[in-house]
Structure 1
Amino acid sequence: MRAVPPMARAYILCAVLAAAACAAPALRPGAGTPWGAVALLALLYAACEQLTRCPFMGRRAPTGMGSFVPVLLAGAFLLPPSAAALVAVPGALLGRVEQHPVWLRRLWHAGQLPLASCAAAHAFGASPGGGHVLGAAGFPYALLPACAGAAAFCLVLAVLDGGILVTAERRSPRTAWRGLLLRSLAPYLVHGLAGLMMAVLWRSPYGPVASLLVLLPMYVSCWVFAQYHRERAAHQATIRALVQAVDIKDRYTRGHSERVGRASVMIARELGMDEHRQEVLRFAGILHDVGKLGVPTRLLRKDGPLTPEERRIIELHPEYGHEMVRGIGFLGEARAAILHHHERMDGRGYPYGLAGARIPEYARVVAVADAFDAMTSTRSYRRARPVDTAVAELRRCAGAQFDPRMVRALARAIDRHGWHPAVTADGLDPAVVADGLDPVARLAPLDRGGGS
C-alpha cells in the first residue's frame, strides 16, 4: 500500500464518514449515552491494543485488531449501537500498525471497526431477548443474540475488507470477496462468546473488574496462534534461503523464481482460486527450480553444448526439487508443481511425459508463468521480449505445450494489472538454452538468429 490509489482513499473516507454517522446519535444532548461504560470499555480496548507496543512483550505480543475483539463485542452487547461504535475509536487510532502508510491504516481501522460494532449491537438488540438476558439466570438464552451480533460484526468487516481489496489492490470483485466471510466466521463466533461472557460478568454483582478475567485466556489463545504464524514465517524464511542458494549457483535463475511466483499468483487470482491456493501457488513458483541445487554446477555453467547424458542429468532437477521439499507439509500441491512444471500438454515434456489433464493444475500454472518470465527477462544472449510478443507466443503454443486456460488467465491478468519484471543481470549460457533447458527453447522460433 505504498502508493494508495485515489479510489481507495475515497473508499476509506466514505467508511470513516459512515462510522461518524453511526456514532453521532450518542453525542446528541439528551441521548442518555452511558458515558461511564463507554469510557471504561474504550480505555480497556485502547490499553489492550497498546500491549502490542509494550517493550516487555516485544514481538511475542499478538498483533492486529483481532486479538481484543471480545472487548468491542462486549460493548456491542452492553451499549446502544451508537455508543458501541465509539468504543473502538481510541484503540483503532492508537493501535499498532507495522505497514505504511500508518496514518491511513489507522484511519481505516477507525472507520471499519465502529461500523462493525454498531452492526453487532443492532443485530444483538434485534434478536429475540437481546439486551434483556445478560443476567446470570438468562445467560443461556443470550447465546443466540450474541452469535447474531458476532456474525454481523464479521459480515461488515468482510464486506469492507473486500471493498478495500477491490479499490486498493484492484482485484476483481469475485476474487476479492470470495471466501472472506466463511474463513473468518468461526473465529468471530468464538470472540462473540468471549464478549458475551465479559458482558454477563460486567452486569453481575462483581462488576466490570470481573469481566477482565475473560481477556486472559483469550490473550493466551491469541498468543499461541501468533506463535503458529511465526513458525510458518520461519518455514518461509527457509524457502527463501533455498531460493537464494539456487540464485547463487545458477545465474539464470537470479530473480527468476520470485517473478515466477508472482506471475503464478496473477494466474491463480484470475482463475478465482482462494487465498490459500494462491499462497501455495506462490511457493510453487518460487521453488520450481530448487532441484538445481542437486545438479553439478559445472553443467549449469558449461560454455559448450551439453551431451545427451549431461542433459539427462539436468532434466532430473524437478525430481531433485520434489525430494527436497517433500517434508514441508504446508506446501501441499506445490510439491506436484515442482515435480511436473516441465511437462507438456502433448506429452513430450519431462520427467514423466504426462499429457493433458494428467498434469497437475498447479504445474500447468507454473509452466506458463515460468516461460512467460523467461521470455520477458533480459539475458546475456538476448534482450527481453516485449510483453505482448511473449503473450502471443504463449497463445501460439497453447494446447501443444501449455494449458490454454492458464494462458488466457495470464493474458487477462496482464491486461488488468500490467507486468513490470526486474532485469536479470546475467543468464544461462546460450548453449544451454539451445539444448532445450530454458522454457523459451521450447517456444520456437527463437530470437537468436531465427531459430535453434
Structure 2
Amino acid sequence: MGSVPAGARVYVACVVLAALACLAPVPGLRVPWWIVALLAVLYAGCDHVPPPRGPRSAGSPGGETPQGMGTFLPVLLAGAFLLPPAAAALVALPGALLARVDQRPRAPRRVWRAAQLAVAVWAASRAYGTLGGPDAVATPRFPYALVPAGAAVLTFCAVLAVLDGGILALAERAPLRTAWRGLFARSLAPVAAHGLAGLMMAVLWRSPYGPVAALLVLLPMYVSCWVFAQYHRERAAHQATIRALVQAVDIKDGYTRGHSERVGQASMMIARELGMDDDRVEGLRFAGILHDVGKLGVPTRLLRKDGPLTPEERRIIELHPEYGHEMVRGIAFLGEARSAILHHHERLDGSGYPYGLTGAQIPEFARVVAVADAFDAMTSTRSYRRARPVPTALEELERCAGTQFDPGMVAALVRSLGRHGWHPAVTADDGPPVLPDGRTSAPHASDALGRGAP
C-alpha cells in the first residue's frame, strides 16, 4: 500500500473495522446460510458482466470500476430484504474480494470495496427491518412494502456516497468542497431501479413460486447490463479511434503536442456554460481534440518550419480543415464535430477559411472550437513567442469578439474560467499549465491557427 496516502490507509482501515463489526453474528439469531451462499455465488458470478468504465466511478478510487461492482446490485439488495443485516453484509464479500481490478494497488482496492459494500448492505438491511419490511413482504402488503424498500435504497445510496466522498478526498486529494458533490444524486436513480428488482426477487422468493422464480428476475437485468456493456465497449472503440488520430498528429507536428487535448477541454467548458446536453458536450470534446487532424495531409517541413510562412506555404497549410473533414467524413459517431473540423478557422466577418462563411453561417460547434483553439494558442508557448497570461488572452478574445469570434462563445469561456480556472490536462512531454492568476507555464508548443493566431 506504499502508493496509497497515509490518511487514506487509516480511512480504509476504519471502514474495514466497521465492516467487521457489521459482520458480527447476533447470538440466538437463526441464519438461512443456504440463501447467503446462493446469493453470494450469484453476486460473485456477476463479475463476468463488464460494467461501464469512466472517471471516478463510485466506490473505486482512481477512476475505474472493478468488474462486477454495482452491475448486479439487485442481488445485494435482495439479500438486504431477505436476510438479517449481518448475513446480508456477507453476500457482497466473495464478489468484491475476487473481482478483477486493473489499477494498482489491487489488494487495497478489493478490500476497500468489500468493506464499503458490507457496511452499505448492512445499513440498508437495518433500515428495511426497522420499518417492518420483512413482514410487509411476507404478507404481502403493497404498496406499503415499497416504503421500507425505498428507505433501504436511500440508506444504501447515502452510505456509499459518504464513504466514496471520503476516499476521493483522501486517496485522490479531491477538494473537500467537491469530493461529495453529486455522488448521492447520480447513484440514486440506478440504485432505485436495482432496488425494485431486488424487492421483486424477495417477494417471489417468499411466495409459493420460490427461489427459482425469484432468480428469473435476474435474466432481464443480465440482458440489459450486457447491452449497456456493449454500448460502452463501442464508446471505448470510438475513444481509441480518436486517440490514434491525435497521436498521429502529435508525431507529425511535435509543436502541437497536448494542444488538441486542451482545445477539447476548453470546448467542453464553453459547451457546459452554454447549457448544452451531455451528447453535444461530448461531441464538442471530440471536435476540439480532432480539429487539427487535417495536418496529417500537410507536408511535415511546413508544420515544423521555424521562420515565417510564405503566401504559398500559408495556402497549403490552410487546406488542413478540408483534409481533416475528408479524413473523418465516414466516422458517423462524430456527428456535428465534423462541421467544426471543417469550419473552425472561419471568422464572423467572412475573412476566415476555407469558405469565408459569415456570422450564423458558421456552425455552432465551429464557433466554439475557434474560441477554444485561439485561447490555447495564446496561452501556450509557440516557436516564435512566449505564452500569454490567461487574463491577457481573454482580453484579446474579447477585443476580437464580433469580428473574428462569436461574442457568446467568448463570454461563455470567460464565465467558465472565472468559476473553474484553467487547469488543462497535459501530456508527459508538456510542462506545467498556465495558471489562472496569469503566471505563465514552462514552454509549450502549438500551432493553432496556421501561424495566424491573434
In 1, distance between residues paired with 2:249 and 2:260?
9
2:94 equivalent to 1:90: yes
Report matched runs for 1:46-445 at 5 Å. Answer: 46-49=44-47, 63-127=67-131, 130-135=133-138, 138=141, 141-172=144-175, 176-258=179-261, 260-261=263-264, 280=283, 282-295=285-298, 299-300=302-303, 305-308=308-311, 310-318=313-321, 321=324, 324-325=327-328, 331=334, 334=337, 338=341, 352=357, 362-363=368-369, 366-367=372-373, 370-371=376-377, 374-375=380-381, 390-391=389-390, 393-394=392-393, 397=396, 399-400=398-399, 403=410, 406=413, 421-423=427-429, 437-438=450-451, 442=453
In 2, distance between residues paired with 1:78 and 1:347?
69
In 1, distance between residues paired with 2:119 and 2:279?
28
- Cα gap change, 1:315 to 1:245, in 2 (>3 Å): same
In 2, distance between residues paired with 1:144 and 1:300?
66
User: Secondary structure at the residue paired with 2:135?
Assistant: coil
User: Secondary structure at the residue paired with 1:221?
Assistant: helix
In 2, distance between residues paired with 1:433 and 1:14?
48
In 2, distance between residues paired with 1:139 and 1:84?
23
Match of 1:37 in 2: 35
User: Secondary structure at the residue paired with 1:63?
Assistant: coil
**CA displacement at 1:117 relative to structure 2:** 1.5
User: Secondary structure at the residue paired with 2:71?
Assistant: helix
- Cα gap change, 1:235 to 1:244, in 2 (>3 Å): same
Match of 1:446 in 2: none
- 1:324-349 deviation per Cα after TM superposition (whole angstroms, max 9, x unaligned): 55765655675566466557899987
Q: Are the equivalent residues in 1 in contact too, given 2:375–2:397 (CA < 8 A)?
A: no
In 1, distance between residues paired with 2:446 and 2:37?
69
In 1, distance between residues paired with 2:411 and 2:336?
21
**CA displacement at 1:397 relative to structure 2:** 3.5
**CA displacement at 1:76 relative to structure 2:** 0.9
In 2, distance between residues paired with 1:318 and 1:422?
27
Q: Are the equivalent residues in 1 in contact too, given 2:68–2:95 (CA < 8 A)?
A: no
User: Secondary structure at the residue paired with 1:64?
Assistant: coil
In 1, distance between residues paired with 2:335 and 2:284?
10
User: Secondary structure at the residue paired with 1:98?
Assistant: coil
The aligned length equals 414
- 1:86-118 deviation per Cα after TM superposition (whole angstroms, max 9, x unaligned): 321232112221222211211221132123213
Give TM-score scaled by structure 2 length. Answer: 0.70
- 1:217-275 deviation per Cα after TM superposition (whole angstroms, max 9, x unaligned): 32222112111111111111211222233234434334543455467679999999998
User: Secondary structure at the residue paired with 2:229?
Assistant: helix
Query: Whose helix fraction is larger, Structure 1's or Structure 2's?
Result: 1
Q: Which amino acid aligns with 1:87?
A: V
- 1:364-390 deviation per Cα after TM superposition (whole angstroms, max 9, x unaligned): 773366326732x7x5x68xx58xx64
Q: Are the equivalent residues in 2 in contact too, given 1:124–1:148 (CA < 8 A)?
A: yes
In 1, distance between residues paired with 2:194 and 2:295?
47
Q: Which amino acid aligns with 2:398?
A: G
In 1, distance between residues paired with 2:321 and 2:74?
48
**Which sections of structure 1, spanning at least 5 residues, go unmatched?**
53-61, 426-431, 444-452
Q: Are the equivalent residues in 2 in contact too, given 1:289–1:317 (CA < 8 A)?
A: yes
In 2, distance between residues paired with 1:14 and 1:274?
40
Q: Are the equivalent residues in 1 in contact too, given 2:124–2:153 (CA < 8 A)?
A: yes
In 1, distance between residues paired with 2:281 and 2:168?
15
Q: Are the equivalent residues in 2 in contact too, given 1:198–1:214 (CA < 8 A)?
A: yes
In 2, distance between residues paired with 1:329 and 1:76?
45
In 2, distance between residues paired with 1:329 and 1:420?
28
In 1, distance between residues paired with 2:3 and 2:350?
45
In 2, distance between residues paired with 1:168 and 1:281?
31
- Cα gap change, 1:409 to 1:217, in 2 (>3 Å): closer
Q: Which amino acid aligns with 2:25?
A: L
Give TM-score scaled by structure 1 length. Answer: 0.71
**CA displacement at 1:71 relative to structure 2:** 0.9
Q: Are the equivalent residues in 2 in contact too, given 1:72–1:87 (CA < 8 A)?
A: yes
In 1, distance between residues paired with 2:268 and 2:447?
29
- Cα gap change, 1:340 to 1:111, in 2 (>3 Å): farther
In 2, distance between residues paired with 1:230 and 1:269?
25
Q: Which amino acid aligns with 2:73?
A: V
In 1, distance between residues paired with 2:178 and 2:335?
22
In 2, distance between residues paired with 1:135 and 1:5?
47
In 1, distance between residues paired with 2:125 and 2:223?
26
**Which sections of structure 2, spanning at least 5 residues, go unmatched?**
51-65, 432-444
What is the aligned-residue identity percentage? 65
Q: Which amino acid aligns with 2:453?
A: R
In 2, distance between residues paired with 1:15 and 1:289?
48
In 2, distance between residues paired with 1:2 and 1:291?
45
In 2, distance between residues paired with 1:266 and 1:8?
31
Q: Which amino acid aligns with 2:428?
A: A
- Cα gap change, 1:116 to 1:289, in 2 (>3 Å): same
In 2, distance between residues paired with 1:171 and 1:271?
26
- Cα gap change, 1:50 to 1:335, in 2 (>3 Å): closer
- Cα gap change, 1:120 to 1:422, in 2 (>3 Å): same
In 2, distance between residues paired with 1:339 and 1:160?
46
- 1:144-184 deviation per Cα after TM superposition (whole angstroms, max 9, x unaligned): 54344334333433443344334433444565555444444
